[in-house]
Amino acid sequence: MNWIQVGALEDIPRQGSRVVNTASGEIALFRSIDDQVFALNNRCPHKGGPLSQGIVHGRRVTCPLHSWVIDLETGSALAPDVGCAHRHEVRIAHGALFLEIKDHAI
């Protein structure tokens, strides 16, 4: 099990995002208005924009560079745009955030 504690739910503002730096790149953690947390690669499938800087609305985030809208649950761009920001598993346990890191030694 490669679950790593990366912080607490309270560290991410509601409708906001924070970044976790990893050896294989940045992972953005998003917190929706109803306190769900999602994790995606911090790269828009369009032109690599930092998704963590976008506006979070519902279960979606809008890329700050060219306004692609990405589904937080799947990482897929909303039609008619096509593309996917890889998603990662994330869990909340008693307010602590755990991120699953794949292909990556601890």
Partner 1 sequence: MTVKKTRLVVIGNGMAGIRTIEELLKMSPDEYEITVFGAELQPNYNRILLSPVLSGEMKFQDTILNDWSWYEDNHITLHVGKTVSKIDRFRCRVETEDGLVVPYDRLLIATGSNPIMLPVPGMTLPGVLAYRSIDDVEKMLIAAKTGKRAVVIGGGLLGLEAANGLSLQGMEVSVVHLCDWPMERQLDKVGGGMLKEALEKRGLKFYLARQTEAILGEDKVTGLRFKDGEEIEADLLVMAAGIRPNIQLAKSAGIHCERGIVVNDTMQTFDPKIYSVGECVQHRGQTYGLVAPLFEQAKVAANHLAQYGRMRYEGSSVSTKLKVTGIDLFSAGEFNAGIGDEELLLQDTARGVYKKLVLRDNKLRGAVMYGETMDGPWYFQLMRDGTDVSELREHLLFGQMHLGDSGLGGVSSVAAMPDNAEICGCNGVCKRTIVNAIIDKKLFTLEEVRAHTKASASCGSCTGLVEALLQNTLGGDYSAKSSKKAICACTEAAHQDVPRAIQNLKIKTMAELMQALAWKTPDGCHVCRPALNYYLMTAWPGVYQDDSRSRFINERVHANIQKDGTYSVIPRIWGGMTSPAELRSIAEIAERYQVPTVHITGGQRIGLYGVTKENLPKMWGELVEAGFVSGHAYGKSLRTVKTCVGLDWCRFGTQDSSGLGIKVEKMTWGSWTPHKFKIAVSGCPRNCAEATIKDFGIVCVDSGYEIHIGGNGGIKVRVTDFLCKVETEALVLEYCGAFMQLYREQAHYMERTAPWIERVGLAYVKQHIVEDAAGRADLYARFLESQRYSQDDPWKERAEGKDAHEYAALATIA
Residues lying near partner 1 in the complex (CB under 8 A): 4, 6-7, 11-16, 18-23, 26, 29, 33-34, 47-50, 53-58, 60, 62, 64-67, 69, 80, 101, 104
Nearest distance, CB of residue 85 and partner 1, angstroms: 14
Nearest distance, CB of residue 79 and partner 1, angstroms: 8
Cβ neighbours, 10 Å, residue 85: 25
Q: Among residues 44 and 75, whose Cβ is nearest to partner 1?
A: 44
Cα 58 to Cα 71: distance, rounded to the nearest angstrom: 9
- Contact predicate 66/46, CB 8 Å: yes
Nearest distance, CB of residue 102 and partner 1, angstroms: 12
Q: Among residues 43 and 75, whose Cβ is nearest to partner 1?
A: 43
For 5, the token pair is: 């504690």
